[in-house]
Structure 1
């Protein structure tokens, strides 16, 4: 025989058996099912009243690292891995950063007149809307980048996803052109400065040789001159690459930090080399010979640097003529047929669970308070107080 205990008494008993829980739910099955029905109805109404949203996706393959003309700078020697800095430009992280940048969002906005479509006041509002509705992700296995756009219109979602790919290609072309132009101008200016310095050094050497005669450089000094010119060329190339990185990366970027450290290391090597060369020349004895030898060294150094700069200028001209990195679109975004949200069954299930729970909790509290004599007296007094009779 099942005892007629109140819900509170059932939970106060220890241990609580599974049959007690079933009994408790069975006694309150009416409010439980009533809450479930109400929750189900409200869930259905909510699921079908929420606006539909569609997701369109485009898949791209970013440009892969390759041996370009500029990557030939690694042949200058150890100490500065410029291809590592260039590799940052070809990494998925960099392309995802470009796709999420305000510049590209503004290009997409202007291309599709999104300010009017979203009824936004300014470009910042459009960017916030795009950040909420556009997801950029990468597949670590394939290296593909997925651009997913959500919108209430399937056609607009597909158009925006494809527009991101189009504007990314335009931006890459602009960045590549700007990079090559920067190097072109830099090397032209450096060649002019070194040619002016070479002309001055040659004039001074002619004057010195008329006074002290011809001076022949030893093999050690010749080697130092060659090494100095090579280091100077590396430093110049590294500074150009750093300037290019700064066009899209901050000072906290790992590649920028790494490149700065390598440039500083090269400068220290150059300083040590020049100091050692001065010591070698000072040990020679004759001050006039030392002065003439230093001028010869400077001339050979200037000629070597100018030669390196001319080679890099030709490389910059070749890169300037290119169209920039090419993004391959693996899958075009097409208007989706089915909406991705709201997920009707999920909404209805949650509403059903909440309704059932609220119905059961309400019934338990009602029963617990109804069994209390003090509670019944207060309810009676409350009715009398608000009665009009």
Structure 2
């Protein structure tokens, strides 16, 4: 009933051939023991020699905390003023500040300044700036961690240079942030600075028109009702312009379905309707002016005063927002904090000689064992007539073109 099961060393009852066993493996290893022993030894000696020839590479790193985007008291005040400040303050939260500062650190501007400062083209012994930038980029690792910190790591054969380069990256970043508008406050400052310059030019043109009218007609006389209308119209037009600026800024980062955007649109429509109602409140003024040249001069006077009043109010509004943005920018400019400045490394970073020798020895051992089994297999194939014929056929096919 019970049949004997074939063992690793027993013949296979189906084929009549002995199965491959652990003993067969040991026999092959013993047969080629010289190759299996000496190849790893030679590999270890060669890798050790190479590792000692390779130059030592050192690494130094710095960690910094980038500015945190937050709304200051001046920003909150600007939001209440109804200008574009509130819109711009909200846009800053859509950007990852770490990505922004990492991009600045990796910029060509920073690289060129470091190359010039440390004469890296001579240090790396290359002829072109492009090649120097490539080597510097390959030797530098800049990344943001999950903790919100930005790490700057520099590798080089010069033990003193790595720490100096890492710290220089931080210094150049601080200098660059003082020039470029990268913070929310800086963006608002640049935005209102441009609007303020444009408003200033328009105000100057309106004042020139007023001066020309004075030279032509003498002192401009406007009745009390007309003056009140002029002031109201100027105020409404200034508010409409400010609201237009706010909506234009919001379109860059919100959709038309945004509640704040819809509310701003409704306020703009309301202001325009109020202005239209006020301007159309005295329809007979133009007709009377056509019949009476004196009234025509009065109408021109009202238009000139209205333009001057409008640009004055708009300029004052933008000036307040610009000054508030400057205050915020002054506070934000020093927010790049160095948590860990780079220091001179005490030990080399690479080559790791022990790891190199160990890996090369293991790979050589694997290669020697594989070669031993392939050599033994080839011997057995050539010992058999059919196997030898197949081997020759394989060689012919491989050599065939």
TM more than 0.5? yes
**What corresponds to 1:129 in structure 2?**
135
**What corresponds to 2:60 in structure 1?**
56
Is 2:247–2:264's contact at 8 Å kept on the other side of the alignment? no
**What corresponds to 1:344 in structure 2?**
353
Is 2:83–2:246's contact at 8 Å kept on the other side of the alignment? no
Deviations 1:236-255 (A, max 9, x none): 5788xx8xxxxxxxxxxxx9
Q: 1:281 Cα shift?
A: 4.9
In 2: Cα distance, 1:345 partner to 1:274 partner: 78
**What corresponds to 2:179 in structure 1?**
174
Task: Give the SS at the match of 2:253.
Answer: helix
Deviations 1:303-335 (A, max 9, x none): 431220232354466578789334322222111
Q: 1:160 Cα shift?
A: 0.8
Is 1:35–1:356's contact at 8 Å kept on the other side of the alignment? yes
Q: 1:24 Cα shift?
A: 4.6
**What corresponds to 2:294 in structure 1?**
none
Deviations 1:207-266 (A, max 9, x none): 8967x9748659xx95x9756533523555788xx8xxxxxxxxxxxx994289899989
Among 76, 80, 92, the alignment partner of 1:75 is: 80
Deviations 1:323-364 (A, max 9, x none): 933432222211112222222333223212321221122111
Q: 1:286 Cα shift?
A: 2.5
**What corresponds to 1:157 in structure 2?**
162
Q: 1:99 Cα shift?
A: 0.8
What count of residue pairs does the alignment treat as equivalent?
349
C-alpha distance 138-371 of structure 1, shift in aligned 2 (>3 A): same
Deviations 1:165-199 (A, max 9, x none): 12222222222699767855652442241353377
User: Greater CA radius of gyration, 1 or 2?
Assistant: 2
In 1: Cα distance, 2:229 partner to 2:46 partner: 95
Pairing 1:317-332 to 2, within 5 Å after superposition: 324-332=333-341
Among 223, 229, 238, the alignment partner of 2:238 is: 229
Deviations 1:121-174 (A, max 9, x none): 222222111111111122322x32211101112211111111111222222222
C-alpha distance 159-279 of structure 1, shift in aligned 2 (>3 A): closer
Q: 1:285 Cα shift?
A: 7.0
In 1: Cα distance, 2:154 partner to 2:314 partner: 51
Among 308, 311, 315, the alignment partner of 1:306 is: 315
What TM-score does the superposition give when structure 1 sets the normalisation length? 0.69
In 1: Cα distance, 2:251 partner to 2:49 partner: 55
1:358 aligns with 2:367: yes
Among 148, 152, 157, the alignment partner of 2:153 is: 148
Q: Identify which of structures 1 and 2 has the higher relative contact order when contacts are C-alpha pairs closer than 8 Å and 6+ apart.
A: 1
In 1: Cα distance, 2:122 partner to 2:73 partner: 43
Is 1:76–1:234's contact at 8 Å kept on the other side of the alignment? no
In 1: Cα distance, 2:106 partner to 2:251 partner: 20
- Over the aligned positions, Cα root-mean-square deviation in angstroms equals 4.8
Task: Give the SS at the match of 2:59.
Answer: strand
In 2: Cα distance, 1:298 partner to 1:197 partner: 6
**What corresponds to 2:397 in structure 1?**
none
Task: Give the SS at the match of 1:81.
Answer: helix
Q: 1:117 Cα shift?
A: 0.4
C-alpha distance 78-304 of structure 1, shift in aligned 2 (>3 A): closer
In 1: Cα distance, 2:269 partner to 2:247 partner: 19
Pairing 1:214-293 to 2, within 5 Å after superposition: 214=226, 229-233=238-242, 235-236=244-245, 257-258=252-253, 272=269, 276-277=273-274, 280-281=277-278, 284=281, 286-288=283-285
Q: Which residues of structure 2 form unaligned runs of 5+?
A: 1-6, 290-298, 393-401
